[in-house]
Amino acid sequence: MDKAKLRACADRAYRDAAGATTSGLLYLGVRTGLFNTMADKGAMSVEDVVSASELNHRYVQEWLHGMVAAEYLDYDPEANTFELPPEHAYLFASEDTDHYVGGIFHGMPGLLQAAPAVVEAFHHGGGLPYNEFHHEVHESVDLMNRGIYEKRLCEDWLPAVPGLVDKLSAGGTGLDLGCGAGTVTITLAKAFPAGSFSGVDLHPPSIATARAAAQVAGVADQTMFFTDPIETLPSDQRFDLITAFDCVHDLADPAAVLKSVHQRLKPGGTFLVLEIRSGDNLEDNIHPIGAMFYGFSMFHCMTQSLAQGGPGLGSCLGPARTEALMQEAGFTRFEPIKIRGPFNLLYAVGH
Ligand SMILES: C[S@@+](CC[C@H](N)C(=O)[O-])C[C@H]1O[C@@H](n2cnc3c(N)ncnc32)[C@H](O)[C@@H]1O
């Protein structure tokens, strides 16, 4: 036996066990507001954190100790104080920005709650349906994506498609497939006041969230949200822009849905597809973000598709399989758009 290999595997196992439990501690920091409490405050005693957060002393103390051990908080042993460094606050106390990572942890316990059902699915097939996940999983999808969409969709992504901004500014129409909490639809409506934008999602609670968010954003008149499958929308209803963000790999019947998208796109229109950043080959995905997405896939994306009798495409679809799906649906234009960030790939697709 190679002792160095054995030790490396043991180290990796302990590191991953620590990662799993630290994910739980990060979840607590996000859900209790402790990261926000500690942001910009410098060094704090346990009592300072307890009084600023109004949370239970013993729980706060144990959380602070765990966060020090996991190296998310700086610790001064002489003063017995704890500090959330500004760089860490930038990532964890920054909801609604494009650099917030707290959303990942908001949904982590709910995601792993799927594990026993996934064990069953290994034996008997099927999976855990989308609507049986804890609501925090659905919320976390929006928390992970919202800041990115609000910041980059209209500033960076749409201008990369020639003519698209002009079309939408002149009263164009858009449809967001798998709209979730409605962020893309609402962001488009706010940026293009002359346009009209629809969102479609099979998950009724998400549609209720989207409708409420459109009211709050003052764009209810410009937006419509449906729970009907896109295949059942009137086929003469056509759009200048159709978006499918973090959605294609989730589809239970990608062929039928993408054919419907093809039919509902106006001639010269754009189908903007945002997918998980992943290489075509497994060996391209051997890194922490790849491992994270295979986990998201197993415990959410793939299993919910298989639960509906779908193909379970999985999160790490990769550009080649994405392009093949688009070609099968009848699209001939497939252009990768270069975007920044570690999580996503973007494609402009057209007839
Ligand atoms: C991972 S979530 C992404 C939500 C949102 N687009 C975002 O990027 O934050 C995928 C969404 O696709 C929806 N979805 C899956 N299959 C669908 C279908 N056939 N038609 C409409 N929505 C679908 C799910 O209900 C879910 O809200």
Average pLDDT for the chain: 97
What pLDDT is recorded for position 225? 97
The span from the first CA to the last CA of the chain, in angstroms, equals 57
Shared-domain flag, residues 81 and 127: no
Whichever domain contains 28, its CATH number is 1.10.10.10
User: With 90 as the cut, is the pLDDT of residue 71 above it?
Assistant: yes
Residue of the CA atom closest to atom 27 of ligand 1: 180
Contact 351, 262 (CB under 8 A): yes
- Strands (E) in the chain, as ranges, are 74-76, 81-83, 173-177, 196-200, 223-226, 239-245, 265-276, 333-337, 344-350
The answer to whether the beta carbons of residues 83 and 44 sit under 8 Å apart is yes
CA distance 150 to 224: 19
- Based on the domain organization, do 88 and 147 belong to the same domain? no
Q: Which residue's alpha carbon is at the smallest distance from atom 3 of ligand 1?
A: 246
Mark whether 70 and 180 lie in a shared domain. Answer: no
Q: Report the half-sphere exposure of 224 (CA within 13 A, side-chain side).
A: 9
In sign, the C-alpha dihedral spanning 123, 126, 129, 130 is positive
Mean pLDDT of 45-55: 98
* 251 and 308 both lie in a single domain: yes
Q: Is 107 among the domain residues?
A: no
Pair (141, 22) in one structural domain: no
| CATH code of the domain in which 209 resides | 3.40.50.150
Nearest CA to ligand 1 atom 13: 178
Q: Kindly tell me if the per-residue pLDDT of 344 is higher than 90.
A: yes
Mean pLDDT calculated for residue range 67-80: 98
- Say yes or no: 75 and 125 in one domain: no
Q: How far is the CA of 178 from the centre of ligand 1 (A)?
A: 3
Distance from residue 335's CA to the centre of ligand 1 (Å): 22
Same domain, 194 and 53: no
Residue 316 has pLDDT above 90, yes or no: yes
Q: Does 249 have pLDDT greater than 90?
A: yes
Residues in the chain, total: 351
Q: Does 235 have pLDDT greater than 90? A: no
Identify whether 105 is part of a domain: no
Is the pLDDT at 136 greater than 90? The verdict is yes
Examine the domain organization and report whether 31 and 74 are in the same domain.
yes
Mean pLDDT, rounded, for 208-215: 98
Domain count, the chain: 2
88 shares its domain with 118: no
- Residue 138 zone, left/alpha/beta (φ > 0; ψ -120 to 50; rest): alpha
Same structural domain, 205 and 284: yes
297 and 163 share a domain? Answer: yes
Inform me whether the pLDDT recorded for 236 exceeds 90: no
Positive or negative, the CA dihedral 110, 245, 131, 255 is negative
> Could you give the percent of the chain with pLDDT greater than 90?
98
* pLDDT at residue number 4: 97
Write down the pTM of the prediction.
0.95
Range of 9's domain? Answer: 3-93
Where do we find the tokens 């896109």? 230
If you average pLDDT over residues 268-281, what whole number do you get?
97
Q: Which residues line ligand 1 (CB under 6 A)?
A: 130, 141-142, 145, 177-180, 200-203, 206, 229-230, 245-247, 250-251, 257
Co-location of 177 and 138 in the same domain: yes
Atom of ligand 1 nearest to the CA of 130: 25
Ligand 1, closest atom to CA 203? 25
- Cβ–Cβ under 8 Å, residues 82 and 64: yes
Does an H or E element contain 121, and which?
helix 115-124
3-state secondary structure at position 335 = strand
Cβ proximity of 272 and 348 under 8 Å? yes
Tell which one of 145, 225, 250 to mutate to probe ligand 1, the residue whose CB is within 8 A of the most ligand atoms: 250
How much is the pLDDT for 212?
98
